[in-house]
Structure 1
Amino acid sequence: MHSHLHTPYNINCEEIMTALDECHARGFIHKALGNCNDIKRDVNRCLAGERYERAKRNRNDAREKRKRIEKIWADERAAATGVSAADSTTTTVATATAGGEKQ
């Protein structure tokens, strides 16, 4: 059985998880004979889908945060060298393309 199934992260799977709990409540023999296996697979599928969506959101948030941080770094570099941020970005891309290295 999954630990902590009924959490806010899994709210979309609540109905299926409740059905699994009810199936398990019918008794050990009912569960041992595999009568709950289809519901269990549905729960696993639902939880995996929720986990995938959560990971995708986290990845996208991390990418956005990284873009903001890199912009701040570029602005700081530009301020230190006296070049505007747009020129600095263009120079960095041109250098990376010409030199074959990513800066």
Structure 2
Amino acid sequence: MSTHSPAEWAAFLSLGVSAWAVMAALLWLTVDAEPADFDPRPAARRAIESGRLDAVLIAVTNARHAAHAAAERARHIPRDTAITAAALLSLTIPTGDHR
């Protein structure tokens, strides 16, 4: 009784997958399909209306708002840096008599 190597098992699995792919392609070529059958919009609309994607839509919206807030904060970094630098420089200016 001989054992088979992992390479032989992988080759056999690859042969099976490729045979299945050829048969599926022939089936898809011979079946009469309308272009509307491949349109994902009705299925997406049904999924959104059912409420199954509410958590995903909320997460996307929150991520979008967080990105806008981060961009807004990044826009103010030069201004905040200039204000801080001016305040620190004003502390180093001599203010008059020190008797």
With normalisation by structure 2, the TM-score equals 0.36
Larger radius of gyration: 2
Q: Which has the higher contact order (CA 8 A, sep 6+)?
A: 1
